[in-house]
Structure 1
Amino acid sequence: MAGHLLQLKVNSVRGTFRRDSPYRSGAIATAIATVVVTAAALAVIVASWSLSPELVRGLAVTSGILASVAAFVAAAVSPGGDDLDPRALVAVGRSPLRAAWESLTTSAIGIPAAGTAIVLLASLSLWRADALALAIGAASMLVGFCTLVTLARLGSLLGFLMDQRRVAGDVVAAAVFLAILLLSPVLFVAVTAPWAATGTEPLQRAAEVLAWTPIGAAWGAPSTALSGDLVSALGQFGVALATLAVAALLWLGLGTRLARRTLVDTSGREVLDLGFINRFGGSPARVVAARTITYWLRDRRYQVVNVSIVLLPLLALVPLAVVGVDARYLALLPVPLLAFFLGWTLHNDLAFDSTAVWLHITSGMDGRSDRIGRALPTLVVGGVIVVLGSAISGLIVGDWLWVVSEFGIAAGLLLATTGFSSVMSVLYPYAVARPGDSPYSQPVRSWGRGVLMHPVAGLLAILAVAPSIACGVIGILGGDWWWHVAALVLGLVAGAIVLSWGIARGGRLFDDRSSELMTFAMSS
């Protein structure tokens, strides 16, 4: 029976290249990409023969993590699917659990899997100098390969569920949006980091941490063994083995459930799917938040704003880099700037609603729920950016006390700007391009007091966090450790106070100015 499944899988792969196959172009593109990536990886492996074990570990861990993420994401967004998934196997008499298991094992057959296997086999040459490291490397590469296959199966299952719920486009757009926001601090740190002075030390330092993560352990264990630390190498191998076990059990559970659902006829059911509103609804504030997220992902006007948020920190820091400001200091700036602009862009959120704002007013929704709902997506996305961006800065700068100050300042700016924007968007909205118009068209009549008041609101947010900024600067310039703690506490406290005031005050203004807001919405 195993040979029969193997033959079916091979025929399935070959069938995608037939001229009448709807997946032929995708299969050809996948094959070409696999050949190119495999050749490039083999070239890197050959070039790495003369490198130190620490640097090899940095390259291996980084490449392995990227490969793990790519396997999951590519399977989630790729069209079509595997002909031998659990739904197909259970239909021909397999039990649900056996169908899930056979679907997982046959996933190791395919062009991307073959290219991955070639690269992993070639990578064993990096640890040929030590027999024990080579043995750990062989075991780790086997575990790593199985983990990649399992992650790909989980990704394909996620893609199927997204297609079934008709949210694939929204989820992909959300992932791209987060990636774009993270691009700003990553690019700036990569360009301005003191590589000349520190060499590959940042990469090696990052690899030491990432080699203990679930998707990085398998790739770091062989080089750790080659450097002589056998205990750590075995520990990392244990982490990799546990990761594979958890991923496989997760797939077997989900795959079995999917196979069982196939045996139940649900074709007669038709459910109205409202996207994010279905998933995050339940209260007025959460419904507003869900609608705001939908606008972010689908409205071209918001997309232009999102791109601007990424570019502004880079453009603001270019003059500082040109005049020779220390790159370690500059590496700390993108995250606070990004947090500031992310919160400040809420200052005209009502105008982007156009006539849809009447739904909030005529339904009797209280202003506080409106303000909370519009602030939630910014706070959630901004929180993720602040945490991840600060971690990236810490890996590059190497001083985690500095990161404590950076985190406090960035979080304070995010909270404070969101609070002030929640008030200013009700007091001083100004007209923007209508839905469907070019995002770059700005009505001439939009100029008013808002042109002055919205920058003032941004300045007030900076002043509110000024004590935190001052403590952070003192700590970075040589102050004691408690200056960094003070920067963290003052930033969070000041930001929380301004946010609470902004939500409450903005909500009252929304209720009091409902007639003016309706007039503005209908005339803009």
Structure 2
Amino acid sequence: MVAHVLRLRFDLLIGALRARPAVLVRRLVGLVLLSVVIVSVFAAVSRLRAATDETASTLIVVLGSLLVAGFALVPLFSGADDPLDPRRFATLGVEPGPLAWIVLTGSVIGVPGLALIALVVALALAWSGLGAPAVLVVLSAALGVATCLLAARCAMAIGALALRDRRTPQLTGVLIVAASVIVIPACVFLFSLEWGDGVPTSLVEAASALAISPLGAVWAMPLRADDDLVRSIVVAVVTVGGLAVLWHWLVRRALTTTQRPVPVRERRGLGWFAVMPGLPGGAIAARSVVYWFADPRHLANIVIIPIASLLVMAPLLIVGVPLEIVVLVPAPLMALFFGWVAHNDLAYDGTAVWLHFAAGVRGVTDRLGRLAPVVLLAVPVLAATITAAIWINGRWALLPALIGVCAALFAAGLGFGSIASAAAPYPVARPGDGPFEQPQRTGGALTQGLVLLGAVVAAVPALWWGWLTATTNQEYAWTALWGGVAIGGGILIAGVVVGGAVYDRRASRLMEFAETM
């Protein structure tokens, strides 16, 4: 079976040259340009054998990380048909397990696969020239190829299963926003480098961080010391193992689910409802996004939060706080208030909330769906703000710590806000009123304060680790990152569950509140 698939892949490559003259010319020009790029990169990487170990290791880790990111992201955006889609083999009766590895092996035969092999061979030559052990060179090359191929296969499968019939302008916008979270920081970082006599310190710090991440651990192995080597090997093996499990599950999912034959034209005009999953939570998320983008009351929050967070810098600079420290303040403040802004989202619905009760929507589903617009708006804004702050500060080693602090504040705010929105909603401006018109009310201040205070208290460990990173030891940066993500994620999950239970229990009171506010 493997030999048959490989032979078919060769036939497809040869068959690509049997096309109309105009198409054939375009393909040949593209192939020539790609060949020039591959040869140039091969020659450049091979020359790293003459560089110092630190320079070579830094450049290899950064290049390898970009390579893995490209294999993971490009298939999601390309939308091209996958000739090795597992669903094409459904009629052959092959079990999901063997089919997963057959398709993965066949992925090597193709332009991306062959380019990857050529680049990995160049890296292996560079490692060998720098004196790396042969065992580590072979292991790193094998794991590197496996990581890239598995990442590409998983991305293609996810795109085929979830995105094939949902490629609308809204989805394109979402994918562009998601890509900007990675592309914007990467571009800002590269443009901020100052090449002098050697590799910039910022690039060395970035490579050190990538060397223990799923993107770069596999490429750092051959030139690492003993303790760092063990860490990189563990991360690389776990990454490959996780991708392999995900790929096997995606193949099984593709073979055991029936694709709905819904033409794209029937989805036209549905907007966000065509993008979100066809589930109750997806419908609530789509409705919430539409409301947020059309309601001046929500738009006012979107505009005010970044402006207010940036204005905080002025008094700090006036009293003499250094700019390098002041620029680190706005991002956590934005994260805190973006998480907090959802604490009373149910009140903004007015009587429209009766749709949820009439449809029998579960509380957890309601809580999750309402978080979609906040996350969709806050994540790219925070990504740009964090990147700008680190760029001005100049210490890219602080990036993981700042991300962890913002993640803890943002996710904790969403978690506590999910509970407060169902437990203690308070009147707000009615639909159609100005965003700054507020009705008279006797409550609300306590709820606002508790959500803000809870988010700050929950993020104290991440804030402490971030402070240690900035003042004493940069190794706390990764502790702040993973600790902040774990704390914020745990509170978010707990908040959605508890908020959902409160929503179910107080359904009648919430409906009464919506009718009388």
Identify whether the pair has TM-score above 0.5, normalized to the shorter chain: yes
The within-5 A match list for 1:54-453 is 54-89=54-89, 91=91, 98-133=98-133, 136-163=136-163, 166=165, 176-178=176-178, 200-201=200-201, 203-224=203-224, 229-230=225-226, 232-233=228-229, 236-237=232-233, 239-241=235-237, 243-244=239-240, 247-248=243-244, 251-252=247-248, 254-255=250-251, 258=254, 261=256, 287=280, 289-295=281-287, 301=293, 312=307, 316=311, 325-344=322-341, 356-360=352-356, 372=367, 376-377=371-372, 396=396, 398=398, 427-431=427-431, 446=434, 449-450=437-438
Length, aligned pairs only: 475
> Structure 1: any 5+ residue segments left out of the alignment?
282-286, 433-444, 518-524
Q: Contact 1:143 / 1:244 at 8 angstroms: preserved in 2? A: yes
How far residue 160 of structure 1 moved from its aligned partner, in angstroms, is 2.0
CA distance, structure 2, for counterparts of residue 372 and residue 172 of structure 1 = 25
User: Is the 2:310–2:330 contact (alpha carbons within 8 Å) kept by the matching residues of 1?
Assistant: no
- 1:142-185 per-residue CA deviation (whole Å, 9 max, x = no partner) reads 32113212222222222222157x45668776555555567888
Contact 1:146 1:244 (C-alpha < 8 Å) held by counterparts = yes
Q: Which residue of 2 aligns with 1:284?
A: none
Shift of 1:220: 0.8
Q: Secondary structure at the match of 2:236?
A: helix
Task: Give matches, 1:502-513, under 5 Å.
Answer: 510-513=510-513
Mark the CA change 1:416 to 1:193 in structure 2 (over 3 Å): closer, same or farther.
Answer: farther
Structure 2 counterpart of 1:148, one-letter code: C
Q: TM-score, normalised by structure 1?
A: 0.62
* Deviation readout 1:88-133 (Å, 9 max, x if unpaired): 4464686665544332211111112222223222233533443334
**1:449 is matched by which residue type in structure 2?**
E
Q: For residues 466 and 150 of structure 1, what CA distance do their matches in structure 2 show?
A: 38
Tell me the amino acid that sits aligned with residue 160 of structure 1: A
The percentage of aligned residue pairs carrying the same residue is: 19
Q: Distance in 1 between matches of 2:34 and 2:289?
A: 31
Distance in 2 (CA, whole Å) between partners of 1:506 and 1:480 is: 49
Give the direction of change, closer, same or farther, for the CA distance of 1:168–1:59 in structure 2 (3 Å limit). Answer: farther
Work out the CA distance in 2 between the residues paired with 1:321 and 1:312. Answer: 15
- List per-residue Cα deviations over 1:28-80 (Å, max 9, x = no partner): 89868956864775586478666543444343333323322321332344334
What is the rounded CA distance, in whole Å, between the counterparts of 1:403 and 1:71 in structure 2?
Answer: 24
Whole-angstrom CA distance in 1 between matches of 2:144 and 2:127: 16
- 1:417-444 deviations in whole A, cap 9, x for unaligned? 7777779985123446xxxxxxxxxxxx
SS of residue in 2 equivalent to 1:331: coil
Kept after mapping to 2: 8 A contact 1:344/1:421: no
- The DSSP-based 3-state class of the residue aligned with 1:122 is helix
- Give how far 1:219 is off: 0.7
Instruction: Provide the rounded CA distance (Å) in 1 between the counterparts of 2:142 and 2:11.
Output: 25
Instruction: Give the Å deviation of 1:459.
Output: 8.7
Q: Is the 8 A contact 2:386 2:402 kept in 1?
A: no
Structure 2 distance, partners of 1:479, 1:242, is 32
Letter paired with 1:339: L
Matched with 1:442 is: none
- Which residue in 2 is equivalent to 1:11? 11
Q: Which residue of 1 aligns with 2:477?
A: none
Cα deviation code 1:372-420 (max 9, x no counterpart) = 4565447877999999999998994559999887776556655677777
1:334, CA displacement in angstroms?
1.0
CA shift, 1:480, in A, is: 12
CA RMSD of aligned residues (A): 6.4
Q: State how far apart, in whole Å, the 2-side matches of 1:447 and 1:334 are.
A: 24
**427 and 161 in structure 1: CA distance in 2 versus 1, 3 angstrom threshold:** same
**Which shifted more, 66-75 or 53-62?**
53-62
- The DSSP-based 3-state class of the residue aligned with 1:427 is coil
The answer as to whether partners of 1:68 and 1:215 remain within 8 angstroms in 2 is yes
Task: Provide the rounded CA distance (Å) in 2 between the counterparts of 1:44 and 1:88.
Answer: 39
CA deviations on 1:251-290 (whole Å, 9 max, x unpaired) are 456536645x49xxx69999x99879877x6xxxxx4x53
What amino acid is aligned across from residue 71 of structure 2 in structure 1?
A
- Aligned position for 2:270: none
Q: How far apart are residue 139 of structure 1 and its match?
A: 3.7
CA distance 1:256–1:365, change in 2 (3 Å):
closer
Which stretch shifts more, 67-76 or 49-58? Answer: 49-58
Query: The residue matched to 2:132 in structure 1 has which SS?
Result: helix
Shift of the 78–409 alpha-carbon distance from structure 1 to 2, 3 Å rule, reads closer
Unaligned runs of 5+ in 2: 268-272, 474-479
**1:147 aligned partner, one-letter code:** T
Q: Any idea what the Cα deviations from partners look like across 1:197-216, whole Å, max 9, x if unmatched? A: xx845544454454344443
The separation in 2 between residues aligned to 1:176 and 1:309, in whole angstroms, is 24
Distance 1:341 1:90, change over 3 A: closer
Residues 409 and 465 of structure 1 are in contact (CA less than 8 Å); yes or no, is this contact kept in structure 2?
no
1:346 and 1:421 in contact (8 A); partners too: yes
How many Å separate the matches in 1 of 2:141 and 2:29? 26
Aligned partners of 1:400, 1:155: CA distance in 2, in Å?
A: 25
